[in-house]
Structure 1
Amino acid sequence: MSPASNLPGPHPGRFEDQVAIVTGGASGIGEATCRRLVAEGATVVIADVNEERAQALAAELGPAARAQVFDAADVKSIERLVLGTVERLGRLDVLHNNAALSAPDIHRRDNNAIDIEFEVWDHVMAVNLRGYLAGCKYALPTMIAQGGGAIVNTASTGGFAGDITRMAYSVSKAAIIGLTRQIATHHGKQGIRCNAVAPGLVLTPGTRGAAASVIEVMQRHLLVPEFGEPEDIAALVCFLASAEARYINGQTYIADGGMLAHNPTMADLVDMARRGG
C-alpha cells in the first residue's frame, strides 16, 4: 500500500459550484490536484503545454474537467487561459499556479553564476516566475469583482536552501515566495488569499526516474518513513484553497518530510553514533 493511499479522502462538496484553474495540471502534483478538486465538487480547467495528456485526463475525469493547452512562457497564452475560463464558466475561484520548466536540456544548463547562459536564466524566469505573475494579474480582477478568491503557488524547498545545481530554478522559487506575500499584502483586504506550497522531493513520474543513489542520500535526511507523493501536496493545495484556510494568507507551507527542519549534519551524526564514533 502506498503512503498516498493512507491519506484522508477528498471532502465532497468543499468546492461545490466553484471554478478552478490548475497550470501544469496534466501530470505530477498538478494532476493530483485536478483529481482532488474534481472529487470535491469543482469545475477544473486542466492547463498544460502537453495538450494530449491534458485532454486524456479531462476525458477520464468527466464533464467537470476541461483541458486547455497553454504556454507558461507566453503571457498572451496565460491571458487567454484565464479570461477564456471566466468567459466560458462565468467565474474563477481558485488559481493553482503550478507549471514549471521541466526540459532536461534547460536543467543541464542551469548550473552556477559563472557558467549559466543568460538565455537559460531568462527562460527559467519566464516560465517559473513571470508565468505566475501573469496568472495572478489576469485572475485578480475577476476574483476581486466576485468578492474573493484563492491563489496557491507552487514554490519549492529550493527557494529556502542553496544547492549545487539548478541555480535559476531555486532563485525563481524563492521569488515565488516573495510574490505570494506581495499578492496577499496588496489584495488581502479585497478578499484574495494567496499562499504557497514548497514541496521537497515528491515521487512524481519525473523524480522516480532519478538515480537510486540520489534517492537514497535524500531519504537519509527525512524525518518521516517515506517520501511524499503528489497526492500529499494536492491535499495541502486544496486545503489552502478552501474556506477552511480562511485565516491563512501570504504564507508558504513546506512539505518536505522534515528535510529542512533539522541540522544539515544530523543524518551523518546519527550514523556516527551508531558506529560508536
Structure 2
Amino acid sequence: MGRVQGKVAIITGGASGIGLATAQMFAKEGAKVVIADFNQAGAEQAAQEIVSQGGEAIGIFLDASKEESIKATIDITVEKFGAIHVLFNNVGLTNLQKDLDVVNIDLDEWDRLMNVNLKSVVIGCKYAIPHMIEAGGGSIINTASMAAFAGDVIRLAYGASKAAVVNVTKYVAAQYGRQNIRCNGVAPGLILTPAAKNNIPPQMLDIFAKYNALPYHGEADDIASAVLFFASDESKFVTGQTLQVEGGHYLSNPTAPDFRELAAKSQG
C-alpha cells in the first residue's frame, strides 16, 4: 500500500476497462485521481465509488480529439489538487470497419485515429510537463499496443498510431529527463476487459490462447499493475521504455504452437 501516496494522477479514458482498473488501483495505493473520459457520467460514477471507499477522486469530461479539452483537464486537475505528478495517456480508438489494409483504408479514419491515438498523447504531455517540473518531477505513461510491433491484415492506422506513441515516449523521455520527468509506455496484447469479454467470440479467444506462452488471457489489472510500477518510485531509473504486457503471445516462433500440437499427437 502507499506506492503512489499523495501523488496527483490524471487517467484519461478512465471510466472503463484498463483506465478504470488503473484509477481504482492508484486510489488504493494513495493517489489523488482525476478520471477523465468522454463518458462523463461513467467517470463521475467511478470517482464517486473511489470516494465512497475513502479515496480521493474526481470525474470530468474529456474529448481527446480536442486540444482545448485536454488543456482543460490539466487546468482542472491543478485547480483541484494543486499539482500533477502522474499522467496516464490511455485514450485510444480502433475501427474494424474503416481502418483496413493500405489499399482499402478510409483516409478520413486514418486522420481521426492519428488525432485521438497519437496527437492526444503529445498534447497531454505538452500541457502536463510544465506543471510536473513545477512539482519537482513526474511520470508519464502512454498506452501503446502490441500492434506497434507486429503487422496485421487490417488496422493500418491503429498500428501506425501506436508505433508512433512508442517513439514519442522515447522522445519525451530524452527531452525532459533532466527535469526529472520520466516517460514510459505499456503495450497490451489481448486484455479481457468487460467490453472485450462481451464482444470477442469464443472462437477468436481460442486462437489467441493457442499462441499465448501463458495458459490464460490478460486482465485489466495486469496493465494497471504495470502502469502503477511506472508511476511509482520503484521505476525511478526507468525511462523511455515500452513494456510489452501480452502473455508471451509474440514471444516464440509462430510455428511453435503447431509443432507442439503435432508432437502431442505423435506421442498419443
TM-score (norm 1): 0.93
Question: Hey, what does 2:180 align to over in structure 1?
Answer: 191
| Equivalent AA in structure 2 for residue 183 of structure 1 | V
CA distance, structure 2, for counterparts of residue 171 and residue 262 of structure 1: 23
Match of 1:66 among 58, 61, 67: 58
Question: Hey, what does 2:124 align to over in structure 1?
Answer: 135
**1:1-277 to 2 correspondences below 5 Å:** 12-62=1-51, 64-102=56-94, 106-208=95-197, 209-276=199-266
| Equivalent AA in structure 1 for residue 99 of structure 2 | D
Aligned partner of residue 253 in structure 1, secondary structure? strand
CA distance, structure 2, for counterparts of residue 166 and residue 190 of structure 1: 36
Corresponding pairs, count: 263
Root-mean-square deviation over aligned CA pairs: 1.1
CA distance, structure 2, for counterparts of residue 46 and residue 261 of structure 1: 34
Q: 1:41-82, CA deviations, whole angstroms, 9 ceiling, x for partnerless residues?
A: 111000000011111111111050100111111111001101
Residue 275 of structure 1: how far off its partner (Å): 2.3
Question: Hey, what does 1:6 align to over in structure 2?
Answer: none
CA distance, structure 1, for counterparts of residue 154 and residue 20 of structure 2: 26
Aligned partner of residue 109 in structure 1, secondary structure? coil
Question: Hey, what does 1:3 align to over in structure 2?
Answer: none
CA distance, structure 1, for counterparts of residue 128 and residue 179 of structure 2: 13
CA distance, structure 2, for counterparts of residue 211 and residue 167 of structure 1: 22
Q: 1:213-263, CA deviations, whole angstroms, 9 ceiling, x for partnerless residues?
A: 111011011111210100011011001110010010000100100011111
Q: Give the share of equivalent positions with the same residue, in percent.
A: 43
| Equivalent AA in structure 2 for residue 65 of structure 1 | A
CA distance, structure 1, for counterparts of residue 71 and residue 96 of structure 2: 27
Residue 101 of structure 1: how far off its partner (Å): 1.4
Runs of 4+ with deviation above 6 angstroms: none
Q: Which runs of 5+ in 2 are unaligned?
A: none
Q: Which runs of 5+ in 1 are unaligned?
A: 1-11
CA distance, structure 2, for counterparts of residue 90 and residue 75 of structure 1: 21
